[in-house]
Structure 1
């Protein structure tokens, strides 16, 4: 008798691997066996069906709630086994306007990683049918014109969220290895009859780490070229948390080196790249004035000040109420508001998703969950080096008072130290402050608290 593992059976039966493992353990799958800690299922086994259930068993099933996605940023994993707040209409909003390159700036822990992984899962050409992950989601009911876009494009996806090193040499090595890993994810290109030997030689040098730093700046451009030739469809390029290593470089003292490298790397990816269908970037800051996006006139920035896409990062009030109802704690909604309804994106009041999820997970224990999730070295530097006026304003803010300041969404790290105004812009972009309603802004000035 031939056997398959849990992963293959899960794909065949449209069940999660966890569910199949449970069925095996409970004796629900005949002839299933466990070898070296892995469950094996007969290759010809049909999907098990539930028999009739009495009222008691139905009540037990109804009382079992989906687990909360603590630290889960893999879209496919999340929606097949965890509670998911449906953000797929973000795809519709993008397809309705189709900007060439979009940059989303949001504070940490507001779902940027998950949103980008969702876009990857939706757009990417795949050997498996990824439409199953979207068929019961909001985007699927929007019409055939949107469903046709699913699985249509080769996708390049990298995340720089964990690149936090003390030297440029370590940082460059980490960037190179992340890009090499993405190249290897597309190793089919090495045997493609559409790509020439020069392109394949470049591919091998990126993959084995022998590429020079000068040649490395063409990495996204060359990979998109090869994907376009192989699939006959220009690529989607997604770069998540592009500014994490830039923030680290400001703290550690190699700022000029990384901004020069990133400017060339991103220009190759997004500027005049005929092999690009569209691109997405996420980060905390726009970092425009360093000329990282110099000449990139097709870049559309969506900051926390903009109404467009405001509801797709973080939770809205309606989504939090629905979650509280699902977990039978509707009476805690007021407390959730008091603790976590502290953000305004565009004109929308937004809850921090990391805090809300942890609140439910920890039996509705109200704590400052978001505060301990990131490196606050820049904040400490701001406080320690603030002049008297800035220090006084920061004290007022900590006491819950309001201040008025000019808001610049393009604040850059070196200016934070020298220009008091940019301190508040940074704190706003990083999620430490929020503005009053947009109609109360005057000439770029905002009331912050």
Structure 2
């Protein structure tokens, strides 16, 4: 948390309720959220890089779907929503699921126990996790009389961390079993929203749940995570002035330096709106410093698992082509290093021609982080 001139920046805060109740600055995405729930499909998947605001988005969705109207006062959604129906919400955060079969089972068991207590569900020792998930969805529907919203955040975290270990096959088996229930219960479900970074297609979310719509490249959702230029103008003028004053920069130089470091992301060839990395941008304003905040938060930890010979190939990644079918639908384990680098935020869309995407490094922060990984420790230097 950072408090500047009476304004609070939500550094590290993922709770929409906390942001709204305690007066933190909130970049209003609620019009996009309303459209996604009410005009989109029932089963939705969104991929964005780590620390790009996915968890805040999921939390905002939960508050909206639970009908928490009081938290949205003054936001765009108030001109759009009329009913504020209270739907039961089942939420899973798979970033807490570990990297082994036992850790995933333990996490799901604990979450399911909580919902079983809420809905007075009796379980027997022979009930599998999939049976328990099925019972929870139906009990939530029967108890409330309303369709259920299911929110699964960072679904791929255990799969990323178990990849290339003996645990991976067992982890995917649990996913196939438990999440196949989603399709079977579609009549009880209002909205199913799943976020992730990388795409593992050989599990039930993508193989069995064949009606899952990947909105990651949809133009209307290009800015659903991250911060746009217009949102900076609308929301952060005092913080920009403060940062400029502390560093001896005028307004234009402050903007240009932040843009060079943290801007440059594009998530749709039809809507090439510039997106700033929100984690780094907010931290930079809070500290009035330009640093590699995103990379320092552990963003590069999984690179060696998915990209071989990074030092040799780094120059090739900054201007590389990838088939549209690969980037939009392929499994990260077989799509090549460019696919992993795009999905995890090291590369971004620079152009698109005849079914082929042109990718490149988005900004100075990412370039610096990548070079620091491949250069020997005693030869590290800032990248111009």
From 270, 273, 285, give the equivalent of 1:360: 285
58, 80, 90: which is aligned to 1:156? 90
TM-score, L = length of structure 1:
0.71
Cα displacement (A) at 1:357: 0.6
Q: Distance in 2 between matches of 1:154 and 1:77?
A: 20
Match of 1:175 in 2: 108
Within 2, Cα distance between the matches of 1:350 and 1:381? Answer: 27
1:201 matched residue in structure 2: 122
1:409 aligned onto 2:333? no
Cross-structure match for 2:247:
none
Cα gap change, 1:444 to 1:289, in 2 (>3 Å): farther
Name the residue aligned to 2:244: none
> Of 211, 217, 222, which residue of structure 2 is paired with 1:310?
222
Matched, 1:433 2:347: yes
What is the alpha-carbon distance in structure 1 between the residues aligned to residue 145 and residue 73 of structure 2?
26
**How large is the Cα RMSD of the aligned pairs?**
2.3
Structure 2: 5+ residue runs without aligned partners? 242-250, 362-384
d(CA) in 2 for partners of 1:423 and 1:430? Answer: 11
Alignment of 1:27-426 (within 5 A): 64-80=5-21, 81-124=23-66, 130-142=68-80, 146-148=81-83, 150-165=84-99, 167-184=100-117, 187=118, 189-190=119-120, 200-202=121-123, 211=125, 215-303=128-216, 305-329=217-241, 330-331=251-252, 332-346=254-268, 347-362=272-287, 364-374=288-298, 376-383=300-307, 385-386=308-309, 392-397=312-317, 401-406=318-323, 407-415=326-334, 422-426=336-340
Larger radius of gyration: 1
Q: How many residues are matched? A: 342
Assess, with a 3 A threshold, how the Cα gap between structure 1 residues 327 and 378 changes in structure 2: closer, same or farther: closer
Q: How many angstroms apart in 1 are the aligned matches of 2:315 and 2:176?
A: 37
Deviation, 1:75, is 0.5
* Kept in 2: contact 1:321–1:333 (CA 8 A): no
Q: Which runs of 4+ in 1 moved over 4 A?
A: none
Please tell me whether the aligned partners of residues 116 and 238 of structure 1 are also in contact (alpha carbons under 8 angstroms): yes
The gaps in structure 1 that reach 5 residues or longer are 1-62, 191-199, 206-210, 416-420
Classify the secondary structure of the residue corresponding to 2:327.
coil
Q: TM-score scaled by structure 2?
A: 0.82
